[in-house]
């Protein structure tokens, strides 16, 4: 049966959460865990910034909105990847607000049958109102 | 003239391949994969505003655009997409009626050709096992760069039994796969209209460059 998607649900914010203040130790530990050695990521001081992938550690308090179309079985699925658009870097002392929206819902068919993809967008904004990153989290459901 | 008739760029949800990166690979591997151009077939969409002329000029390859849509007989490549075709069919619908698509696209000036027909679930062969054959099919993708063992062999039997023409495409979603399978045309192709005409009436054949790696 075809999935009916009401386009008015797309783009709606369904959750907002605040993280931080972020410490220099957190930024350095994250970078070192990746094997990073460049000084801007691992040495304390005014030049320290978060590694570009640091933004993926943040999420809202709520996984999915209540408005998902009926017929999507959210108990069977997996993480199908992320697209990250970077803004200003994360710095020690920053607080990060995560604004969660339902960005996209679509179907596709493949070798193993039909699938539904749900894309949840996290827009990360710091305490100065600057966009740190836009993270599109793609999940696949049967 | 040799064109890869089936590949996806970062505009498709399951590919991260920039078009320019495809061209760089083709330029570097010209001896191994002697292509003249590519036809971008993004999944379930067609954007008429895409303009690749600057890349064509920079790299010397022909770049044309088409679409891969999903139907009740599996996936189909639509060449010669125009405003009438876009108005007639919702490309995001994953259950498009294949017979209507093939007939109407032809009437509206394009051509719709089933791709990877040997693939389970989304290939023509699987649907022919339970449904009547489609009318008006001109050609099917006999060589697909993403085929698994036995899938292209099923297509060979389909072509033999139905008398379809055969074409090839890499179905590349990754930069390094571009041009591993393609289609060789006898005629020169300068535009999407030329391509539609040649696919419908011209002489062409699938070519496989996967075995031509240098020693």
pLDDT digits (tens, 9 = 90+) for A72-104: 888 888 999 999 999 999 999 999 999 999 999
Chain A nearest-CA distance from B46, in A, is 16
Domain ranges, residue A98: 7-22+59-141
Portion of chain B with pLDDT greater than 70, in percent:
98
What was the pLDDT predicted at A70?
82
Element (H, E) at B100: helix B98-107
For chain B, the average pLDDT equals 96
What was the pLDDT predicted at B214?
55
Does the pLDDT of residue A125 top 60, yes or no? yes
Portion of chain B with pLDDT greater than 90, in percent:
96
Element (H, E) at B99: helix B98-107
Is A96 inside any structural domain? yes
Q: Is A56 helix (H, G, I), strand (E, B) or coil?
A: helix
- Which residue ranges make up each domain of chain B? 2-208
Does the pLDDT of residue B213 top 70, yes or no? no
Q: Rounded CA gap, B170 and B41, in Å? A: 11
Does the pLDDT of residue B212 top 70, yes or no? no
Model confidence at A2, pLDDT cuts 50, 70, 90, reads low
pLDDT tens digits, A114-124:
899 999 999 99
pLDDT tens digits, B101-131:
999 999 999 999 999 999 999 999 999 999 9
Mean pLDDT calculated for residue range A57-84: 88
Task: Say if CB A138 and CB A84 are below 8 A apart.
Answer: no
Does the pLDDT of residue B167 top 90, yes or no? yes
Copy the structure tokens of residue B133: 């054959």
Q: Is the peptide bond before A21 cis (omega within 30 degrees of 0)?
A: yes
Mean pLDDT calculated for residue range B141-168: 96
Model confidence at A108, pLDDT cuts 50, 70, 90, reads very high
Mean pLDDT calculated for residue range A47-56: 96
Q: Nearest to residue A5, comparing CAs of A69, A95, A92?
A: A69
Does the pLDDT of residue B143 top 80, yes or no? yes
Is A134 inside any structural domain? yes
Is A71 inside any structural domain? yes
Q: Rounded CA gap, B15 and A99, in Å? A: 26
Q: Which residues of B touch A103 (CB under 8 A)?
A: none
Does the pLDDT of residue B65 top 60, yes or no? yes
Q: Rounded CA gap, A70 and B130, in Å? A: 29
Is A129 inside any structural domain? yes
Taking CB atoms and an 8 Å limit, are B122 and A111 in contact across chains?
yes
What was the pLDDT predicted at A67?
85
What was the pLDDT predicted at A30?
97
Mean pLDDT calculated for residue range B43-58: 96
Q: Is A7 helix (H, G, I), strand (E, B) or coil?
A: helix
The 10 Å CB-count burial string (b at 16+, else e) for B43-53 is bbebeeeeebe
Mean pLDDT calculated for residue range B166-186: 97
What was the pLDDT predicted at A4?
76
- Mutation target to probe the B interface, by most B beta carbons within 10 A, among A85, A106, A109 is A109
Neighbouring CB atoms inside 10 A of B186's CB total 10
Domain B2-208 has CATH 1.20.120.80: no
Q: CA triplet A55, A57, A62: central angle to 5 degrees?
A: 110
Q: Rounded CA gap, B5 and B192, in Å? A: 11
Model confidence at B215, pLDDT cuts 50, 70, 90, reads low
Q: Are strands B37-43 and B62-71 parallel, antiparallel or unpaired?
A: parallel
ipTM of the complex: 0.78
Measured between CB atoms, which of A2, A106, A110 is closest to B121?
A: A110
Does the pLDDT of residue A71 top 90, yes or no? no
Is A38 inside any structural domain? no
Taking CB atoms and an 8 Å limit, are A111 and B13 in contact across chains?
no
Model confidence at A8, pLDDT cuts 50, 70, 90, reads confident
What was the pLDDT predicted at B66?
98
For chain A, the average pLDDT equals 93
Task: Tell me the CA distances in angstroms from A99 to A65, A121, B46, B180, B212, one per residue in order.
Answer: 12, 8, 31, 43, 51
What CATH number is associated with residue A129?
Answer: 3.10.129.10
pTM here is: 0.88
- Please provide the distance, in angstroms rounded to a whole number, between the alpha carbons at the two ends of chain B: 26
Measured between CB atoms, which of B43, B75, B121 is closest to A112?
A: B121
Taking CB atoms and an 8 Å limit, are A110 and B13 in contact across chains?
no
What was the pLDDT predicted at A7?
83
Domain tally, chain A: 1
Is A74 inside any structural domain? yes
Does the pLDDT of residue B88 top 70, yes or no? yes
Q: Rounded CA gap, B76 and B123, in Å? A: 9
């Amino acid at each position: 049966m075809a999935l009916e998607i009401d386009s008015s649900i797309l783009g709606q914010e369904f959750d907002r959460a605040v993280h931080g203040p972020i410490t220099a130790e957190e930024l350095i530990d994250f970078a070192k865990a990746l094997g990073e050695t460049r000084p801007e990521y691992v040495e304390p001081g005014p030049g320290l910034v978060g590694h570009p992938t640091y933004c993926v550690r943040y999420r809202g308090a709520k996984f999915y909105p209540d408005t998902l179309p009926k017929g999507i079985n959210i108990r069977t699925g997996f993480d199908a990847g992320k697209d990250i658009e970077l803004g200003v870097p994360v710095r020690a002392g920053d607080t990060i607000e995560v604004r969660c929206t339902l960005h996209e819902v679509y179907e596709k068919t493949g070798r193993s049958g039909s699938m539904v993809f749900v894309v949840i967008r996290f827009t990360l904004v710091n305490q100065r109102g600057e966009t740190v990153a836009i993270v599109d989290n793609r999940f696949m459901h049967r | 003239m040799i064109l890869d008739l089936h590949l996806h760029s970062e505009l498709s949800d399951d590919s991260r391949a920039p078009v320019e990166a495809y061209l760089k690979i083709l330029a570097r591997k010209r001896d191994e994969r002697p292509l003249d151009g590519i036809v971008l077939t993004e999944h379930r969409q067609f954007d008429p505003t895409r303009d690749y002329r600057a890349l064509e000029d920079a790299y010397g390859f022909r770049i044309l655009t088409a679409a891969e849509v999903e139907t009740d007989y599996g996936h189909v490549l639509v060449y010669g997409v125009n405003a009438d075709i876009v108005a007639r069919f919702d490309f995001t619908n994953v259950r498009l009626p294949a017979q209507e698509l093939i007939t109407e696209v032809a009437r509206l000036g394009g051509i719709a050709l089933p791709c990877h027909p040997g693939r389970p679930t989304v290939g023509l062969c699987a649907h022919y096992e339970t449904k009547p054959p489609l009318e008006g099919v001109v050609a099917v993708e006999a060589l697909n760069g993403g085929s698994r063992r036995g899938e292209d062999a099923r297509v060979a039997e389909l072509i033999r039994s139905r008398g379809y023409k055969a074409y090839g495409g890499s179905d590349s979603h990754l930069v390094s796969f571009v041009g591993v399978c393609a289609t060789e045309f006898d005629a020169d192709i300068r535009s999407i209209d030329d391509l539609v005409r040649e696919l419908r009436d011209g002489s062409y054949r699938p070519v496989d460059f996967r075995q031509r790696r240098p020693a």
